[in-house]
Structure 1
Amino acid sequence: MTSQKPAPVRFNPFNADFRHDPYPVYRRLRETRPVHRTMGMWVLTRHAEVRQVLLDRTFGAGLIPELIDRQAGRLTQHNIATIQQLARKSLVFTDNPDHARLRGLVNRVFTARAAAGLRPLVAETAEELVQRAWADSGMDAIADLAAPLPSTVMSRWMNLPDDLREHVTQWTHDIRFLLEPGLMNNADFAHVCDVVQEFADRLGALVTERRSRPGDDLVSQLLAAETGGGDRLSDAEIVFVCMMCFVAGNETTKSLIGNGLLALLRHPEQDALLRDDPGHIPGAVAEALRYDSPLQQTKRVATRAVEVGGELIEQGDQVLLCLGAANRDPAMFDRPDEFDITRGVRSHLAFGHGMHGCLGGLLAELQTEVAFECLYRRPESLRLGSDQLEWQDQSFIVRGLKRLPVTVG
């Protein structure tokens, strides 16, 4: 009697087991179907091919505006002018020459020096949040630290007025649907249109005010950014840069802090090592990015026919790059499924790579480092408050926890 071959592994990001732990599926795909076509797109899971596409500028990143238009047509939504403009003017979704121009201007503000200069602000904010939790002998590390930290830091860097700051977290949460337009139903789409319009109007008024009375805040710095040829960002471009700082930055930073802390608490020897020597904190952040990447997937579209991993990808084909799978590739990382804060990893793809590498990556790392410092420089230890963890299911490209209860011991 002949034994049956095991059924080929299927990539299904909607599956509950995959949401809980995608890495066994990633591993089998890398081994058996590393470049394959499913769900109307190519899915790539090995580090070499994912990096190849990220570095190939003939793969476009401007798929989101097209998907927004397509979903608006299906849902008969017409009030989409502002979200179309947001999509077409955002660094995340633009290709050259627009991307090069915008990046050249924004890079003058988002520098390594600027991120380092924010450390006192980040430290003050994180300490305020952690002290509240310590007073209560525990916390939900997502709601009490990981979520409010990036939102508060960015609001303070922009020097937003209080009446705007109080809306930013909810608006950012609502606008996240723009990163995955296909998930929006008619009510979602209408709501996102309204939120984007209100957010843009409020930020537009702020830009106008800062133009007449500049300070040392982020908005004023973006207004002052200028190339050697005298090019500057328009007011609308500044509005959308600021908006995307929240939309693209908050969820990933929140998830990085939560995923990293969970990995530490699930690996007692690594947790003890970090508590004994906080000098390992930068390594712990880098390993958290590799081991359980907050941004699991990103999409590209081929603008020409090209061979990737032995398969011919045709012009117009969509390509899903599984960053989380690439960061567990044994061809690149020794013992990839082990969490090791002494690994010294430098080649992870958690922030993408190439010209669309994450603009706010340095700030995300800084905030996570400071959050870990606040937690691990105290004498008390942390413990998981529950083994029943729930992963957020409102996004299929971001991996993060809904809650992370921890107790202080």
Structure 2
Amino acid sequence: MTQAPPAPLDLTDPAVVADPYPSFAAARAQAPVQWHEGMNLWLAFTHAESNAVLRDRRLGRIWKDKAPAERFGSFNLIHRNAILEMEPPEHTRLRQLISSAFARGHVERLRPWVEELAGRLVDDLVERSGGSEPVDVLSGMAEQLPVDVIAELLGVPEADRPLLRPWSNAIVKMYEYGRTTAVEDAAERAADEFVAYLRALTAERRRTPGEDLLSHLVAVRDSDGGRLTEDELVTTCILLLNAGHEATVNVSGNGLLALLRHPGQMQRLRQDAGLLPTAIEEFMRFDSPLQLFERTATTDVEIGGVTVREGQKIAALLGAANHDPAAFDAPETFDVGRADNPHITFGAGVHFCIGAPLARVELQASFGALLGRTSRLELGGEPVRRPEFVIRGLAELPVVLTP
């Protein structure tokens, strides 16, 4: 077994953050799995090896509290009890409790409501733009629609929904590398406020239950306390609110930007609305909203010709995997009709995204409304990209919409 070369990749380099795909290609040409000294973990650059990282049961999500514990009390609480940081049997128990809310049949019943919401949001953008003024599609639709949908599912009152996105944004910045003390402090404050809010909302649902998912989880907690702790209940809601909109927002922004930069593909989609489902999958592959997902070896594991020692971390680079020419024909080509598209944007294995069916409904509704209620979409200024690598998305996307 040969020792892999060190990964030639600085994830804090603004050029890499702006466009990581050339760096991925250069690294992939050297070796499928490489050691990154600065991050102290292995990186998988290919589709096959990234898929193996996500599926191999010897590689687990092993949460370790951030230190010092007194500084990160709430941040640690919402991860220690999160389904995303658990392995079976705890993971299985929690996933079963919430899976019915995201079953395909239940999600399909939401589709008309989601489509109606998307239509209203796009109509408002069109009215404000009027074919001449640029409007920010991110704040005007991409951020609002998935937040409203997951909040509706959980039963968060409409007046409180503007609180959710800022909390989520602050918390997910903790997943980045090279973060500052100020970023860490902001993440802990957001986690603390989010936990306090969900505890109060849980108490309210206990007094006056509704038909929402939070009321269902409260009922499970109170009738069968052994299946769900209070901390797990609160954490599950936070995870669903964060993960339930964060990726969808960023697929919306990244995907629309790709369409705007490939007008031929946009025209193709306008002419054939039946391509919308495959286009959504291509948005997720072409510019993935989550770029990196870590696992920890519970025993020595061989992946891609290297040995990941027990206790070492290895990360699947999802964006690199989704551009691997061994898995995708012409991976640098943006193709809304791409039929063979085994992207791993939603993960794989036991941690495959539980909200994938809902995300697809939201994305089909929002892009269907954008294309169906406009005659023209064009960039109205320079997009502003968020300065983080792991969570890949835009901060602003000015677009001119013509009725």
Give the letter for the 1:116 counterpart. E
Q: Is the contact made by 2:6 and 2:35 (CA closer than 8 Å) also made in structure 1?
A: no
The answer to whether the Cα contact below 8 Å between 1:109 and 1:225 also exists between their aligned partners in 2 is no
Give 2:149's match in structure 1, choosing from 147, 150, 153. Answer: 153
Give the match's secondary structure for 1:294: coil
Q: Matched residues in 2 for 1:379 and 1:79: separation?
A: 49
Partner of 1:207: 202
| Contact persistence 2:126–2:374 (CA under 8 A) | no
Match of 1:21 among 5, 19, 22: 19
1:9-408 superposed matches below 5 A: 10-38=8-36, 39=38, 40-62=40-62, 65-66=63-64, 68-69=65-66, 72-73=67-68, 78-137=70-129, 138-180=134-176, 183-224=178-219, 232-386=227-381, 388-393=382-387, 395-408=388-401
Deviations 1:125-156 (A, max 9, x none): 22222111100224212121111111122222
Structure 1 residue 407, shift from structure 2 partner = 0.9
Separation in structure 1 between the aligned mates of residue 326 and residue 246 of structure 2, nearest angstrom: 29
1:164, CA displacement in angstroms?
A: 2.8
In 2, are the aligned partners of 1:13 and 1:19 still within 8 Å (CA)? yes
- Number of corresponding residues: 390
Q: Which runs of 5+ in 2 are unaligned?
A: none
Unaligned runs of 5+ in 1: 1-6
Paired residue type of 1:166: P
Alpha-carbon offset, residue 316 of structure 1: 1.2
SS in 2 for 1:14: coil
Using the alignment, how far apart are the partners of 2:225 and 2:285 within structure 1? Answer: 40
Equivalent AA in structure 2 for residue 45 of structure 1: F
What TM-score, normalized to structure 2? 0.90
Deviation at 1:49, TM superposition (A): 0.6
Task: Give per-residue Cα distances to partners, 1:141-180, cap 9 Å, x unaligned.
Answer: 2121111111122222223234532322222222223434
Inter-partner Cα distance in structure 2 for 1:192 and 1:340: 37
The TM-score normalised by the length of structure 1 is 0.89
How far 1:231 moved relative to its partner? 5.8
DSSP 3-state at the match of 1:108 = helix
Structure 2: distance between partners of 1:186 and 1:355: 33
List per-residue Cα deviations over 1:197-224 (Å, max 9, x = no partner). Answer: 2222221222222234322212123335
User: Are the structure 2 counterparts of residues 187 and 330 from structure 1 closer, same or farther at C-alpha, using a change threshold of 3 Å?
Assistant: closer
Aligned-residue CA RMSD (Å): 2.2
Could you tell me how far 1:346 is from its partner in structure 2? 4.3
Question: Contact conserved, 1:151 with 1:246, CA < 8 A, in 2?
Answer: yes
| Cα separation, 1, equivalents of 2:348 and 2:331 | 20
Which range moves more in the overlay, 205-214 or 51-60?
205-214
Contact 1:109 1:222 in 2 (8 A): no
Deviates more, 1:343-352 or 1:283-292: 343-352
Question: Which stretch of structure 1 is more off in the superposition, 195-204 or 271-280?
Answer: 195-204
Structure 2: distance between partners of 1:250 and 1:105: 20
Counterparts in 2 of 1:231 and 1:241: CA distance versus 1, 3 Å: same
Query: In the aligned structure 2, how far is the partner of 1:57 from the partner of 1:8?
Result: 26
Write the letter of the residue equivalent to 2:342: S
Residues in 2 aligned to 1:272 and 1:366: alpha-carbon distance in whole angstroms:
22
Large movers: runs of 4+ above 4 Å: none
Shift of 1:29: 1.4
Contact 1:106 1:225 in 2 (8 A): no
Structure-to-structure mapping, 1:1-12, within 5 angstroms: 10-12=8-10
